[in-house]
Amino acid sequence: MKKDCAGKSCLMAMLFMEAGMIQVYANSPAPVHYREYFAGTAIMLVLTVLFNAGIETAAGAIMGVGPKRVIFLTNIGTNLIMNVLLGYLDFTFRLYLRGYYFPVMCVFEILVLAAEYRIYLRFMGGRFPKQSILKYTAAANAVSFLLGLLVLQLLGLGVF
């Protein structure tokens, strides 16, 4: 697959997921105000992605790992994909109502950690030892995950 096709495929996958979310709500017996719902969802998605990318970039600065641009862009991508997929699965299968949201989120966090580690190895492997990159990736993801849970709890939006 060409390099430029990968981005197009990702965009198409996200559009199909969004169409699936709209279909789920179109079949819902409760009235849904689409404009307000999707505006609120988009704002929360952007804030969540920027929060996690900012925390993990700051952790990289503190731990002396970089370049910061690679960390920031990697986190934007992985967190965006994770949150869109998690939101889609939640809306489709009602994970939160069934008590599966938190375990599924933890599995996704592990997958994100693995993906970020591989990306960092590719772009930073020559400058930093593998163990340092692994320690940074694990620490940064743990910090952003726990701070995210704390913020959600403080806002009354906890996942427990």
Provide the residue ranges of all domains of the chain, joining segments of one domain with +: 41-154
Mean pLDDT of 136-142: 96
The reported pLDDT for the residue numbered 157 is 73
Q: pTM here? A: 0.75
Task: Output DSSP code: residue 126.
Answer: T
What mean pLDDT comes out for the span 148-156? 86
Q: Which residue is it, tokens 């996942």?
A: 159
Nearest alpha carbon to residue 157 among 55, 17, 44: 44
- pLDDT tens-digit series, residues 32-43: 676 777 778 888
Residue that wins the pLDDT comparison between 8 and 49? 49
In tens, the pLDDT along 78-108 reads 999 999 999 889 888 888 888 888 899 999 9
CA distance 44 to 153: 15
pLDDT for 144: 94
User: What are the contacts of 71-77 at 24+ separation with CB within 8 A?
Assistant: 71/120, 71/140, 74/116, 74/119, 74/120, 75/49, 75/116, 76/49, 76/50
Rounded to whole angstroms, what are the CA distances from 53 to 22, 26, 96, 123? 28, 33, 24, 17
pLDDT tops 50 at residue 4: no
